[in-house]
Structure 1
Amino acid sequence: MVRLYGIPGCGPCEIVKMFLAQKGVPFTFVNAREDQEAAQRITELVGSPTAGVVLEWGGRVEVIRGVSPATLQAWYARYQESSSGGG
């Protein structure tokens, strides 16, 4: 299960949600507006809740800045590799 940290209405967050759903990746959206611990985690990793999208899965944490088809496909390849036991 992937945890997607972000804030509701955030354009990049919404794009990542749609991407995960299209790929059939199970995920939970963690609302940093309502979860202070999530907001702090995002701030530690990217500087502010609006500076990037944070994905957490299988003990890994990855920050995506500049969400684009290329960055999402690259993340998805790493996700698949780690999910298949390759990493």
Structure 2
Amino acid sequence: MLILYSTPWCGDCKALKQALATFNLPYREINIDQHPEAEQEVLTLNNGRRSVPTLVYAGQAASFSGFSVARLRAWLQAVGIQP
């Protein structure tokens, strides 16, 4: 399952969630403002940057700050998910 690290105030997070819903893809959302350990995980995944939204699937992670549907679609295909 996709894991989405996000915050409630992030516009890119909202756009990414809408795109995942459009693609009918389930995900588990983790609010990094509420979970300090998750914030640390995001920092690790993004080379020290607190970048949201960050998606993780099968050990592969990507930040979608500056969200675009085309970039999401390409990443999903690269990790083996057909949107």
Per the TM superposition, whether the score is higher than 0.5 is yes
Aligned equivalent of 1:37: 37
The CA deviation string for residues 19-56 of structure 1, in whole angstroms up to 9 with x for no partner, is: 111111110110001111111112233312xx342111
Which shows bigger deviation, 29-38 or 63-72? 63-72
Larger Rg: 1
Distance 1:42 1:36 in 2: 10
**In structure 1, what is the equivalent of residue 25 of structure 2?**
25
TM-score for both structures, normalised by structure 2: 0.80
Residue 69 of structure 2 is aligned to residue 73 of structure 1: no
Matched, 1:11 2:24: no
Residue of structure 2 in register with 1:53 after alignment: 53
Aligned residue for 2:63? 63
4+ residue segments displaced more than 4 Å:
none
Aligned pairs, number: 80
Q: Where in structure 2 are there 5+ consecutive unaligned residues?
A: none
**Could you tell me which amino acid in structure 2 is paired with residue 55 of structure 1?**
L
* RMSD after superposition: 1.8
State the SS of the aligned residue for 2:9. Answer: coil
Unaligned runs of 5+ in 1: none
Q: Higher helix share goes to which structure?
A: 1
